[in-house]
Amino acid sequence: MEAFLFIPCLVEHVLPQVGEATAVVLSKVGVSPVLPKGQTCCGQFAYKRGRPDLVRPLARKFIALFEDARAIVCPSGSCTAMVRRYPGLFAEDDPWRARAEAVAARTFELGQYLVDELALTDVGARLPLRAVLHASCQTTRVLGAGEQTERLLAHVAGLTLVPLARPERCCGFGGAFSVDYPEISQAILEEKVDDVIQSGADAVITAEPSCLLNIGSALAKREVSVRPLHLAEVLAGGAI
């Protein structure tokens, strides 16, 4: 069985280890990862900026690139949610609409793919660690894949999940929001990092690369030794 890797630009250029871990996890469960050439960005940034007109060409590109895939797997809730919005970018009678629908229906966030499509909750991962889960807004509320993340983590041997105060609360990133309103973004982030530190955990896990990067960059600034880990890295069980 094959799955096409949909690698967010943030993962491609800033968090390549998350892409690697995703490939490792898929291989572990018997799925061969395929990386189609020529991926760039799903267009989420332009969409959130209120420019669906700029997203449309990127969506067509994505659709053409991934159309042949039986499954498209992405280590990001927000990018998956963006692709699932693609059909709405095209008019009812536009032939691209049906193509967008077909691609959107086969695009899954990693946790969704494992739990919903492969009916797996135990991928045989082992990672002895005390960690908290940051339930990313985009993965949980927007995409509705929070439960899948939790079920997968519950089966990781050695992993102890400790409670995080307000786990569902935003980390303050919000894409361009973090640059347009840096003070607000950092005030929200500061509270998230306070909660993470207070939990006493050794690591903070999330299924969303942008949250991971945001929280990780603040932990580094405060020189705290809490490891930011993506769901894929945890499921790879330290294999990379």
| Footprint (CB under 8 A) of another protein, residues 171-230 | 172-191, 213-214, 216-218, 220-221
Compute the least distance from the CB of residue 97 to another protein, in Å: 18
The minimum distance between CB 154 and another protein, in angstroms, equals 22
**Per-residue contact string for residues 19-38; x = within reach of another protein by CB under 8 A:** xx--xx--xxxx-xx-x-xx
Structure tokens at 173: 């990133």
CB of 160 or CB of 180, closer to another protein: 180
Q: Is 238 in the site for another protein (CB under 8 A)?
A: no
Cα 120 to Cα 103: distance, rounded to the nearest angstrom? 23
Letters for 84-123 (x = contact with another protein by CB under 8 A, - = none) are ----------------------------------------
Residue 15 binds another protein (CB under 8 A)? yes
Of 1, 87, 73, give the one whose Cα is nearest residue 39: 73
Q: At what angle do helices 209-221 and 182-199 cross, to 10 degrees?
A: 80
Please write down the long-range contacts of 67-70, taking CB distance under 8 Å and 24 or more positions apart: 67/99, 67/102, 67/103, 69/2, 69/3, 69/4, 69/34, 69/36, 69/106, 70/1, 70/2, 70/3, 70/106
The span from the CA of 219 to the CA of 4, in Å, is 33
Write out the two tokens for 71.
Answer: 């499954």
| 9 is an interface residue for another protein by CB under 8 A | yes
Task: Enumerate residues 49-68 that contact another protein by CB under 8 A.
Answer: 49-52, 54-55, 57-58, 61
What is the contact mask toward another protein in residues 128 to 147, using x (rule: CB under 8 A)? Answer: ---------xx--xx-----
Q: End-to-end distance of the chain based on CA atoms, in angstroms? A: 22
Confirm or reject binding of residue 41 to another protein (CB under 8 A): yes
